[in-house]
Structure 1
Amino acid sequence: MVYAHGNFVAIDDMDIAPILTSIDARNAFADYKNIPIDSIVNFQSELLIREFSYGNSDSSSIPKLVYKVTIDAECIVNNEIGYIDANSGKVLATIPRMTGISYVGTFSTRYSGTQTAKTMLGSGKYRLEDDSRAAPIHTKNLNNSTNITNAAEIYDYNNIWTSSEHSPNNIDMGLDVHWALQEIYDYFYDNYEISSFNDNSFDINAFIRWGNDPDDRDNAKWDPTYNRLLFGEGYTYLNPIASLDAVAHEYGHGISDMQADIPYDDVPSAAIQEGLSDIWSVILENAIEPVNIWQIGDQVVKSGSCMRNNANPTDALAKYQLSVTYGSPSFNNTTSQYIKSGVFSYWFYLLVNGGSGTNEIGDSYSVYGIGMDEAEEFITNSIYDEYLDNLSSFSDFKSAFSNAAMVYYGDSSFIKNQVDMAFYAVGLSTEPNPLNYDITGANLLCTSSNETYTLNGDVPSNATVNWTSSSNINIISSSNTSAICSGNGYGSSWLRATVTINGNSFSVTNYDIGVGPPSILDVTSTNNLSYDYISDSYKILAGSGDYKYEGKLVVDEYYGLATNYHWAKVLGSTLIPINWSASYNTVYVYTKAADRILMLSCTASNACGSYTKNYSFFTGDASPFFALYPNPASNTVEIEVIGLTNSVNNNNEYEVELIDNTMQIRKKIKMKSNKTTINISGLKKGIYFVLLKSGH
Structure 2
Amino acid sequence: MTKHYSVAALLLLGALPTAYAQEATRAAQKFLAEDGTPALVQFRPESSAYTLSQARQALIEQLQLKSDDQMQQARTETDNLGFVHEKYNQFYKGIKVEHAAYTLHAKQGKVESMSGQVERISGLSVTPSMDAAAALQRALAFVGATRYMWQDAAEEAGLKQQENNPSATYRPQGELVIVRNERSTNPLRHSKPTLAWKFDVYAQAPVSRAYIYVDAHSGEVVLQDAIIKHAAATGTLATKYAGSQTSATESINGSFRLRELTRGSGIETYNCKKGNSYTSAVDFTDADNSWTEYANANFDNAALDAHWGAQTVYDYWKNVHARNSYNNAGAKIRSYIHFDDTPGDGRGYENAYWNGSVMTYGDGDTRFDPLTSLDVCAHEIGHAVCSSTANLTYSNESGALNEGFSDIWGAAVEYYKAPTKATWLIGEDIDKVRPSLRSMSNPNAEGQPDTYKGTSWYSGTGDNGGVHTNSGVLNHWFYILSVGKTGTNDIGSAYSVTGIGIEAAAKIAYRTESVYLTASSNYAAARTYSIQAATDLYGAASTQVTAVTNAWYAVGVGAAAGGATPPPTAGAYCTSKGTDVRYEWIDLVRLGSISRTSIADGGYYDGTALNTTLTAGAAQTISFSAGFASTAYTEYWKIFIDYNQDGDFTDSGETVVNGSSSSAATLSSNFTVPASAKNGVTRLRILLSDASSTTSCGSYGYGETEDYSITISGGAAIADNGLVGGGSMGLTPLGATTAQSTTQRLELYPNPATDLLRIAMPGNAKVVSVSVTDIRGVRVAASQLEDNQLNVGALAKGIYTLTVSDGQKVFHQRFAKQ
Give the structure-2-normalised TM-score.
0.38
Task: Tell which structure's C-alpha radius of gyration is larger.
Answer: 1
Q: Which has the higher contact order (CA 8 A, sep 6+)?
A: 2
